[in-house]
Structure 1
Amino acid sequence: MTTVSKLNPRTQHYEFGGPFGAAFVTLSVPITTYALYFGCSETSGGCPPPLSDIPIYFINAITSLDWWKSLWDTEAFLAYLAWYTFTVVAWYVLPGDWIEGVPLRDGTKKKYKINAFSTFLLTLGLAAGAILRFGPTALTFVYEHWIGLTTSSIIMATVQAIYVYVASFEEGKLLALGGNSGNLIYDFYIGRELNPSIGSFDIKSFNELRPGLILWALIDIAMACEQATRLGGKITDSMLLVLIFQIWYIGDGLYNEVYTSFIPTSPIAENPIQPAIFTTMDITTDGFGFMLSIGDLAWVPMVYSLQARYLVFNQVELGTYLSLAVFVLHGAGYYIFRSANGEKNDFRNGRNPKSMAFLLIT
């Protein structure tokens, strides 16, 4: 029988600069998320605002109690809770295959419910219905309550990181090899437990695919709605390109990173082909701690949507030729991205010629 010490050995090597680096990133990511809002908004004077104004603005802000109070928004917090609850309910209610992940160190395999793409389509359908029924003002709440939604996402990420860290000390937990150093700050950041779950609900894979990633698409749509209300019902070609590129990326990721489960078994691999998301380092190796929770729940939706938010108040018309050039450049970049990701997943599943040669040699 494998002992607990052998199954969960103590982490010997630090990454990210050890506890100091972990503490720095833990504090700097939320600060940077706020800074990107205040440094690129209508009220600050541009992106970035005049450099000479930044120190004065920063000092006036952090020394003002009203500024700190402005970070909290009860309406936004309730809206964010409703959004997160919706994604959980969708995970539970919507049909989806249960797929086995890669073998774990203890010989077991976790099962994951595959319906993130269905949740994405449902979200787009509900958003489209709301816009058709109430007009673009149906989603302008997001722009008006941006900072409150940012605070809410950071709170959710922090609460989850604390919960999974405390729960990781329960008996029988399988820990991440890189998150069992014994240092509270470092393990909290890296993630101590490999696959924290509540019953069959896997917290890590759920957050990786649903609440943050799909919220990014919803925020982009909301920014287009805000722009449309200012421009009499139309949006700029630059905003349209952002919508196409980013929503395509999100939908493509949710579909291609998961639905590879329908590919037949490799003729030379010992195990069936795994969905791509379940062969990535985030799922197979990293624990779920603050690093992943803040990235999934706050950084992705609130930072990656910066371009769309910027275009709300800086309305750029590119014209036909520039739009076509941007589209071609993006298409080339997308081809490289998708080809590389497909090759990596094929290699991990034994279907890439390079991995086949390696298996045959060994």
Structure 2
Amino acid sequence: MSSSAVSKTSSEVNPRTTHYEFLGPPGAFAISFGVPFMTYALYFGCSEHTGGCPPPLDTALILDSLSSLEWWKGLWDTQATLLYLGWYAFIVAAWAVLPGDWVEGVTLRTGGKKKYKINAFSTFLLTAGITAGIIYRYGPQPLTFIYEKWVGLTTAAILMSIVQGLGCYLASFREGAILALGGNSGNPIYDFYIGRELNPSIGSFDLKTFNELRPGLILWVLIDVGLACEQAVRRGGSITDSMWLVLAFQGWYVVDALYNEPAIFTTMDITTDGFGFMLAVGDLAWVPFVYSLQARYLVFNQVELGPVNTALVIAVNLAGYYIFRSSNGEKNDFRNGRNPKNLQFMQTERGTKLLTSGWWGRSRHPNYMGDLLMAFAWSLPTGFNTPITYFYVIYFAVLLIHRERRDDEACEKKYGKDWKKYKTLVPWRIVPYVY
């Protein structure tokens, strides 16, 4: 084959990105610094070690801290870094050793399909079993290091994200790499952030799908358990009903995601986005250390809800879960050629069908509505003394609105005039009669 033919084939498989997201390179640069900054800010802005949630505003003290080399050195903890690296190595080993089915993902632009190993749920069960054994044998004290070494563990996770993002960016220049359609702009700052290669892998080990479910999500639950242990030590062995709710809600959410692992292979993160710093820092640092904010708050602000308030919070969470799971069930049935509810749909010129009744007739993303209700229920156990513990709900709403807009834009390109017709049949984006 001639070099011109090779060049032509390469450009067809990996076309240049012509459309920026996140306001292009300046936005990518700002978010790359902003996410680690916010991760630390949510700790220092809501911590008993800094004086509360939020602590008293002392501009001079903040400026003195930021200008102090000792303060910056305090972000590093060698022992915490080794613990985090040990955790990551354990999760990789579990992926390799534990049995699991191999399933095919969607068809790639080259016509082939990647195979993924399904054993995230069994990895969680192994982790949960070891954790339960430690608590049963030694009590809650051994897991309180998670609370004590919070900053060092956060730093280790952020550094791991940077290493993976940079490594994947550099590795994407090898011959034969399939690049993400949105990550081949030629601008190194933007491509590093958004992800240049679609599926960076080491042999059969796919880094993106691995990080999507295992090291961050399972660590999130482990952190929650560690924070509950810290509260238990302080209270002489018991934990509050509010802490139980946070453990149950967030733990169930993670278990549900891990048990339904094959569902991620059709999500935008896997099929469309490259793996760069954006996904790495989100999976490894943001999810476990930001999403556990409510549990960390409850360590030093112990809230007892009582039976009535507990029941109300549970009702909100169950309503969200029902909408989330029921709507996703309708979609998955329909995609697999089943329609047990006899839902209405419209036929498109592409030959595909779009649901126009059931949950998907109420809004174009009813599963997002369920997600938001669950997120709200996770924050309710903290009470209403501070808005900081509701950060996740606000952030998640912004994230889902942005994701919905991206999806709408992609579907408009995919379906053309059929998408405009569909939007007249299903006018609401997420929440019926609201948005």
**Structure 1 length normalisation: TM-score?**
0.91
Q: Is the 8 A contact 1:350 1:356 kept in 2?
A: no
1:150-161 counterparts in 2 under 5 A? 150-161=154-165
**Which residue pairs with 1:168 in the alignment?**
172
SS at 1:105's partner residue? Answer: coil
1:295-334 counterparts in 2 under 5 A? 295-334=282-321
1:340/1:8 CA distance change after superposition, 3 Å? same
AA in 1 matched with 2:310: S
Displacement of 1:58 after TM fit? 2.1
Distance (Å, rounded) in 2 between the aligned partners of 1:253 and 1:341: 12
**Which residue pairs with 2:405 in the alignment?**
none
1:95/1:324 CA distance change after superposition, 3 Å? same
1:356/1:200 CA distance change after superposition, 3 Å? farther
**Which residue pairs with 1:264 in the alignment?**
none
1:98-117 counterparts in 2 under 5 A? 98-117=102-121
Q: Compare relative contact order (CA 8 Å, sep 6+) and give the higher one, 1 or 2.
A: 1
Identity %: 69
Between 329-338 and 308-317, the greater mean CA deviation after superposition: 329-338
Distance (Å, rounded) in 2 between the aligned partners of 1:286 and 1:248: 27
Displacement of 1:343 after TM fit? 3.8
2:253 to 249, 255, 259: 249
1:29/1:345 CA distance change after superposition, 3 Å? farther
Displacement of 1:345 after TM fit? 4.0
Q: Does structure 1 residue 201 correspond to structure 2 residue 188?
A: no
Displacement of 1:157 after TM fit? 0.5
Q: Is the 8 A contact 1:188 1:290 kept in 2?
A: yes
Displacement of 1:312 after TM fit? 0.4
2:241 to 237, 248, 272: 237
Distance (Å, rounded) in 2 between the aligned partners of 1:87 and 1:117: 12
Displacement of 1:290 after TM fit? 0.4
Per-residue CA distance 1:322-354 (angstroms, 9 max, x = gap) = 111111111111112222333444455554656
Distance (Å, rounded) in 1 between the aligned partners of 2:345 and 2:335: 8
RMSD of Structure 2 on Structure 1 (CA): 1.6
Per-residue CA distance 1:248-283 (angstroms, 9 max, x = gap) = 000011112x2xxxxxxxxxxxxxxxx311000000
Distance (Å, rounded) in 2 between the aligned partners of 1:109 and 1:27: 35
1:356/1:133 CA distance change after superposition, 3 Å? farther
Distance (Å, rounded) in 1 between the aligned partners of 2:27 and 2:61: 28
Distance (Å, rounded) in 1 between the aligned partners of 2:77 and 2:301: 26
1:180 to 172, 180, 184: 184
1:336 to 314, 323, 333: 323
1:9/1:136 CA distance change after superposition, 3 Å? same
Displacement of 1:43 after TM fit? 1.7
Displacement of 1:70 after TM fit? 0.5
**Could you list the runs of 5+ residues in structure 2 that have no partner in the other structure?**
354-417, 419-435
Distance (Å, rounded) in 2 between the aligned partners of 1:116 and 1:355: 34
**Which residue pairs with 1:6 in the alignment?**
12
SS at 2:167's partner residue? Answer: helix
SS at 2:168's partner residue? Answer: helix
AA in 1 matched with 2:22: F
**Structure 2 length normalisation: TM-score?**
0.76
Displacement of 1:293 after TM fit? 0.1
Distance (Å, rounded) in 2 between the aligned partners of 1:340 and 1:21: 33
Distance (Å, rounded) in 1 between the aligned partners of 2:352 and 2:114: 29
SS at 2:297's partner residue? Answer: helix
AA in 2 matched with 1:340: S
Per-residue CA distance 1:19-76 (angstroms, 9 max, x = gap) = 00000100000000000000000022221123x32x2332121111111011000110
SS at 1:160's partner residue? Answer: helix
1:1-362 counterparts in 2 under 5 A? 3-50=9-56, 52-53=57-58, 55-256=59-260, 258=261, 275-346=262-333, 348-349=335-336, 351=338, 353=343, 357-358=347-348, 359=351
Distance (Å, rounded) in 2 between the aligned partners of 1:116 and 1:90: 9
Distance (Å, rounded) in 2 between the aligned partners of 1:80 and 1:328: 36
Per-residue CA distance 1:195-222 (angstroms, 9 max, x = gap) = 0000000000000010000000000000
Displacement of 1:101 after TM fit? 0.4
SS at 2:186's partner residue? Answer: coil
AA in 1 matched with 2:102: W
Displacement of 1:84 after TM fit? 0.1
SS at 1:217's partner residue? Answer: helix
Distance (Å, rounded) in 2 between the aligned partners of 1:284 and 1:348: 16
Between 196-205 and 347-356, the greater mean CA deviation after superposition: 347-356
AA in 1 matched with 2:174: E
